């Protein structure tokens, strides 16, 4: 439960090493003895993150192993990650993959879908069940504009993110009146390790800008945000562009 000053006392970051996820986490107003739970597949990397967070004054950091490609029972992940009743759950797991490889290798395409969508379904459903039972909390889900209209350059990733976005919109509707709020974040190109090998797209932004937008959206009760905000209008136009024109757009 947030403290009397509205500061978070417990945060769960799924995608415990994500640059954007960590920027959001660091931007939240945090109580002195706050607890952070990091869930992800790379324990040594999360140990490094945990050490940095402790040095920044986080009271306690827990680590939970979570591999989205492990499609077995993920209930244990949610159980372990929810021991401290998180005020905010950030789902920042993601994997761009390589479109050309995915077109040659169906298993590579399935991996993109597993990490960005299928493997997150039990975690999202389980988290919402727990948040609903708590009667409070905010779920932040990292979607993307790439899910709004698939491009030939990354349509497998876009399709997986479209699934994640649709599921989260459904969950948002199902949570009406529960005391739990949801923020779906649709950034364009963000300069992180996920995109270092790519030429920045128009309206490219940074993890800090995404975090700033999320921190502003939570108290406002915004359900879907685009980062930067102008992308909301750009996508409104692009969604309705005839396919023949859309296909000729650069990038
Ligand atoms: N960067 C962009 O341009 C951009 C734009 C729009 C939306 N997004 C979305 O924003 C979110 C954060 O991305 P980011 O830029 O911060 O990238 P990032 O730093 O690479 O974060 C991705 C996270 O996903 C985790 N992950 C990868 N494979 C996984 C698996 N098999 N199981 C569980 N977790 C796995 C990574 O963990 P390990 O490092 O330990 O593998 C990492 O914590 C993602 O959902 C991404 O799709 C990014």
Domains of the chain: 8-247 (3.40.50.720)
pLDDT of residue 251: 65
Angle ∠(152,155,157) on CA atoms, nearest 5: 145
Q: pTM of the full predicted structure?
A: 0.97
* Cα–Cα distance, 95 to 85 (Å, whole number): 27
Distance 224 CA to ligand 1 centre (A): 19
Backbone angles phi, psi at 13, to 5 degrees: -110, 105
The answer to whether the beta carbons of residues 15 and 94 sit under 8 Å apart is: yes
Name the residue at shortest CA distance from atom 26 of ligand 1.
93
* Residues 97-118 pLDDT 10s: 999 999 999 999 999 999 999 9
As beta bridge partners, residue 226 has: 186
User: How many Å is the Cα radius of gyration of the chain?
Assistant: 18
* Cα–Cα distance, 174 to 191 (Å, whole number): 33
The answer to whether the beta carbons of residues 56 and 100 sit under 8 Å apart is: no
Type and span of the H or E element at 182: strand 180-187
Distance 4 CA to ligand 1 centre (A): 33
pLDDT of residue 76: 84
pLDDT of residue 73: 72
Residues in the chain: 251
Residues with Cβ within 6 A of ligand 1?
Answer: 15-21, 40-42, 45, 66-69, 92-95, 115, 142, 144, 187, 189-190, 192-195
pLDDT of residue 187: 98
Which regions of the chain are under pLDDT 50? none
Distance 246 CA to ligand 1 centre (A): 27
């Amino acid at each position: 439960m947030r403290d009397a000053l509205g500061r978070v006392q417990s945060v769960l970051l799924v995608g415990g090493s994500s640059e954007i996820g960590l920027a959001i986490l660091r931007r939240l107003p945090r109580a002195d003895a706050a607890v952070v739970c990091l869930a992800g597949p790379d324990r040594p990397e999360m140990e490094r993150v945990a050490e940095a967070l402790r040095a920044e004054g986080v009271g306690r950091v827990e680590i939970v192993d979570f591999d989205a490609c492990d499609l077995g029972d993920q209930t244990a992940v949610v159980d372990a990650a929810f021991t401290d009743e998180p005020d905010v759950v950030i789902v920042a797991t993601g994997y761009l993959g390589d479109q050309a490889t995915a077109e040659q290798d169906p298993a590579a395409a399935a991996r993109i879908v597993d990490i960005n969508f299928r493997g997150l379904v039990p975690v999202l459903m389980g988290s919402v069940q727990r948040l609903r039972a708590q009667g409070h909390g905010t779920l932040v889900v990292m979607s993307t504009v790439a899910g709004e209209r698939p491009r030939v350059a990354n349509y497998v990733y876009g399709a997986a993110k479209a699934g994640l976005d649709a599921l989260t919109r459904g969950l948002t509707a199902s949570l009406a009146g529960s005391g739990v709020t949801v923020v779906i974040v649709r950034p364009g190109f963000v300069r992180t390790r996920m995109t270092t090998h790519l030429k920045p797209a128009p309206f490219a932004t940074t993890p800090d800008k995404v975090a700033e937008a999320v921190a502003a959206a939570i108290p406002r009760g915004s359900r879907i945000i685009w980062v930067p905000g102008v992308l909301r209008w750009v996508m409104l136009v692009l969604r309705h562009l005839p396919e023949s024109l859309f296909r000729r757009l650069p990038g």
